[in-house]
Amino acid sequence: MRRTAILLALLLAALGLQSPVSALAEFNVRDYGATGNGSTNDDDAIDRAINAANAAGGGTVVFPSGRYRSRTIHLKSDVTLRLDSGSVILAASSGMDAAESNSYDDYQDYGHSHFHNALMWGNGLTNVHITGVGTIDGDGNLITGTPDSGEADKAIVLTECSNVSLTGVTIRRGGHFAALINGCHDILIDDLKTIHTDSGVRDGINLINSWNVTVTDSRIEASDDALVFKSDYALGHTYTSRNVRVRDTTVYSHENNALQFGSETCGSFRDFRFDDITVLGAGKAGIGIVTMDGAIIEDIHYDHISLTKTTSPIFMKIGERKRCPGSPPAGRIRNITISNVTGTNLTAPVVTGTVGASDYSSTFTGTPAVDLGPGITLDNVDLTVPGGHPASEATRVPGEFPTTYPPRDYGPRPSYGYWIRHATGITLNGDLRFSSNDGRPAVIADDGSNIVLDGVVAQRGSSSAYDIGFSGVNGYAVRDSTNTGGGALRIRATNSTPLPSGPAVTVGTEAEGGTVTAPMQRAADSAASGGSYVAVASGNNSQSSAPSTGHATVTVNVPSAGTYKVMGRVVAPADTDDSFWVRVDGGAWVNWNDIAPGGSWHWANVTDDAASNALATYNLAAGDHSLTFAYREDGARLDRVLVTTDLALAPTGTGP
């Protein structure tokens, strides 16, 4: 126990959070009238202890061994709940707080829209912690659907709180949500366990509109989505979900998604890292990313992931449900890396009406008007799928299904490994195999561009007509790839054009090295490439149109004609200081907006905000070309500039 406390304190200190073990005083719930006998409702006594700790300026509310039956508990700032060994908080069957009214509940389902009908809840709190080795148990009394009067459907709810930690405890039969966290920041979840049971549980942990989150050394199980990231409109506004780290954690969903973005996706998501994750099952997707309501999901990275018993190993989809104010257009999924993945025994944990079939191929799909990508890179991803599908399925053309998101909607895919449609900038590397002979090709890509297989090994079915199929793909390549016997892959390309056989072209230069006109100016920074960068003088903004002066113009020489993207090494301090105007060779200005905010230099693609942040590409002839960057919002900084034919390029450091 002492070692756990020390580790917890170190983790919290690294995140800048107050440690619950440093609380000034302890408040034993039994001293305030709690019985712990499992039948008497102890919530009034628990609330008295919480209020006393809060009034004292903060403290730890202690639950010694016992079974504490409780109606709704009201959390307060600067208070830690500590569940000691043998302690259990049990949900009462009636008398829970009523659901508050919400004028925004048309934008998400009932469970997401209401917060007070919970075993415990807090709103607008700071320094709230739940820790220990005890258990929070819905005891079959937390509802998994819409609760009646006096009933609750959530174990823990926190809204617009800061400095939050859930550590050590176990949550059983959590109702619709074991933990629903919306609009919170600076969150630590460590050594937490949610338990899947046959009844009384749906979602595990929902992190909604939340940022600065760390999840470590936990085991998240659920019947429905297990560990899921969403952005709904239940608060009447959204926040950008960002700076999220998940590591050394085991995840299991009995019927739905294990690691999931969406489906509620009103606000955007960026800067997520998943490392050393074990997925033990998923009735839908092991790794799922869907944007249904206009969100941009970008800068998401998975490394060292083990998948087993997942119906669809990897599933990415852009949809158009538009269930947010203003009926937003389709969102974007881009700059996603998935590395060092092993997937075996890839069948559903249980086949039900919720799941559909026992297996579905990994899928990447946009819409007919909006491509998924670019920057979708799978590196060293080794999947062994069940197989056993007939060659006749290779001719299937699944429907579009723009307003729904389950993988089952598309039915059997025409390929066993990856099915790609309406996508750009996809790079695949790794092994694709099956357990039972499969007559479909390994990969099919329809209606896309810049699809590259590099270092793929694909098993060949005895009745498959070809191994890799491209249809309507503008730019494809199959490099250093073979079948499992070492032979060449058979490629079928229809209405498609190959990428140039030579290596990608990338040319770089320093933004400050060209012509700079006021109020754009050069400034020094030892972390910048070459030690300096360009930015506009403070107080200058030109959001409606590009300014007539205040430009940084550089010249680049490209050795061969091709389709190029432009990248910049940038710093965008905040969402309100994250944009430039860009043009190439004196052409139309592009509004380069929504650069990922933060205080560190990072690479970002030049995108076109007028096209909902679509990647801006330029068909350039061999020779010199001018790139001009004008200020739009003060505070944004520009260091180094690249032009490249590698539309999936994601440089590190100062880049090439």
pLDDT class of 656 with cuts at 50, 70, 90: confident
Over 60: is that where the pLDDT of 211 sits?
yes
**What's residue 478's pLDDT?**
94
**What's residue 20's pLDDT?**
46
Instruction: Compute the Cα dihedral for 132, 135, 141, 146 and give only its sign.
Output: positive
pLDDT class of 22 with cuts at 50, 70, 90: very low
**What's residue 2's pLDDT?**
38
**What's residue 410's pLDDT?**
97
Q: How far apart (Å, rounded) are the C-alpha atoms in residues 206 and 192? A: 14
Over 60: is that where the pLDDT of 178 sits?
yes
Over 50: is that where the pLDDT of 21 sits?
no
Dmax (CA) of the chain: 82
DSSP state, residue 160: S
Q: How far apart (Å, rounded) are the C-alpha atoms in residues 451 and 454? A: 10
Residue with tokens 């730019």, as numbered in its chain? 475
**Span 476-507, pLDDT tens digits:** 999 999 999 999 999 999 999 998 777 789 99
Look at strands 617-620 and 562-571 and give their pairing: antiparallel
**What's residue 8's pLDDT?**
52
Over 90: is that where the pLDDT of 4 sits?
no
**Span 354-398, pLDDT tens digits:** 568 999 999 999 999 999 999 999 999 999 999 999 999 999 999
* Secondary structure element (H or E) that encloses residue 13, with its range: helix 2-15
The average confidence (pLDDT) of the chain is 93
Whether 401 and 410 have beta carbons less than 8 Å apart is answered as yes
**What's residue 163's pLDDT?**
98
**What's residue 504's pLDDT?**
84
What one-letter code names the amino acid at 260? Q
Over 70: is that where the pLDDT of 61 sits?
yes
**What's residue 434's pLDDT?**
98
DSSP state, residue 135: E
**Span 98-138, pLDDT tens digits:** 999 999 999 999 999 999 999 999 999 999 999 999 999 99
Q: How far apart (Å, rounded) are the C-alpha atoms in residues 584 and 606? A: 11
Q: Give the torsion through C-alpha atoms of 98, 103, 106, 112, to 10 deg.
A: -40
* Residue range 192-219: mean pLDDT, rounded: 95
Whether 352 and 324 have beta carbons less than 8 Å apart is answered as no
**Which runs of E-coded beta strand occur in 173-210?**
175-182, 185-190, 193-195, 201-208
Whether 246 and 274 have beta carbons less than 8 Å apart is answered as yes
Assign 407 to helix, strand or coil.
helix
**What's residue 7's pLDDT?**
47
- Nearest in space to 372 (alpha carbons), one of 329, 408, 345, 335: 335
Q: How far apart (Å, rounded) are the C-alpha atoms in residues 360 and 354? A: 14
**What's residue 655's pLDDT?**
86
**What's residue 1's pLDDT?**
40
Instruction: Compute the Cα dihedral for 39, 41, 43, 46 and give only its sign.
Output: negative
50/5: higher pLDDT: 50
Over 90: is that where the pLDDT of 252 sits?
yes
**Span 533-578, pLDDT tens digits:** 999 999 999 999 999 999 999 999 999 888 889 999 999 999 899 9
Range from 460-469, 560-569, 590-599 that averages highest in pLDDT: 460-469
Over 90: is that where the pLDDT of 609 sits?
no
Q: What burial letters (b/e) apply to 549-571, b meaning 16+ CB within 10 Å?
A: ebbbbbebebeeebebbbbbbbb
**What's residue 3's pLDDT?**
43
- Nearest in space to 79 (alpha carbons), one of 31, 120, 118, 40: 120
* Residue range 453-479: mean pLDDT, rounded: 95
**What's residue 506's pLDDT?**
93
Over 90: is that where the pLDDT of 399 sits?
yes
Q: What are the structure tokens assigned to 319, written together?
A: 């949809």
Give the rounded percent of residues in the chain with a pLDDT score beyond 70: 95
**Span 191-203, pLDDT tens digits:** 999 999 888 999 9
